[in-house]
Chains A and B, each alone.
Chain A
Amino acid sequence: QKEVEQNSGPLSVPEGAIASLNCTYSDRGSQSFFWYRQYSGKSPELIMFIYSNGDKEDGRFTAQLNKASQYVSLLIRDSQPSDSATYLCAVILSGNTPLVFGKGTRLSVIA
């Protein structure tokens, strides 16, 4: 059973702070890891993907992957109220298999 676990939140952070979102996955053979953002009533939009252990930075976002511990995280620096959304962690086992999504973490950035 492939599982992706996330804390449902809500996670509340003040504007300008760092938001830290965590995700663990059960299948050690997972190859690719994704973070999506979903606003209420909208479909998910891709923020970042990461394949290798370590950190990957893109603007205010940093994805961190630790395959030995089977966790992936997303850091959002200088959080803005517009970052308030549900963040979905997703994992691909290999090849053409579908994304397996976590239930998402709701982030609220307080102005």
Chain B
Amino acid sequence: GAVVSQHPSWVICKSGTSVKIECRSLDFQATTMFWYRQFPKQSLMLMATSNEGSKATYEQGVEKDKFLINHASLTLSTLTVTSAHPEDSSFYICSARDFQLVDEQFFGPGTRLTVL
């Protein structure tokens, strides 16, 4: 149980284009999902917290107009990187909490974004 999927697993795009990443909790309901970014040899950095049906809460320094997060259902959250630039190239990882197990947090496999 407690499986979180992400799609796509990797994407290469041209500078200036937008990329959407999906995060799904497959066998549980997730009222809260988290989006992280990880640059090579660095730790995970929390970008934003999204609660189903409400606006995401962004961490300091994360542009909410650039990283659009939608959490429309208890099993799906999306992150859209708008007008991507090479410096946005990173490993994006989502995480979800089980509705009934507040503390445990399960991670998706991650999406490797490369912006040319």
Contact = CB atoms under 8 A, between A and B. Distances in A.
Contacts of A60: none
Given A32-B103, A92-B103, A42 B43 contact: no
B58 to A, nearest CB: 12
Interface residues on chain A, size class: 20 to 34
A88 B95 CA distance: 15
A77 interface: no
Interface stretch (A11-19, A21-29, A68-76, A99-107): A99-107
B34 A49 contact: no
A43 B103 contact: no
A98 interface: yes
A72 to B, nearest CB: 14
A44 B97 CA distance: 14
Contacts of B34: 98-99
A103 B43 CA distance: 5
A104 B45 CA distance: 12
B110 A95 contact: no
A96 B57 CA distance: 13
Contacts of A104: 43
A45 to B, nearest CB: 7
Interface of A: 31-32, 34, 36, 41-46, 49, 51, 88, 92, 95-96, 98-104
18 contacts: A32-B103, A36-B107, A41-B91, A41-B112, A42-B109, A43-B110, A46-B104, A88-B43, A96-B31, A96-B32, A96-B97, A96-B102, A98-B49, A99-B105, A101-B44, A102-B43, A103-B42, A104-B43
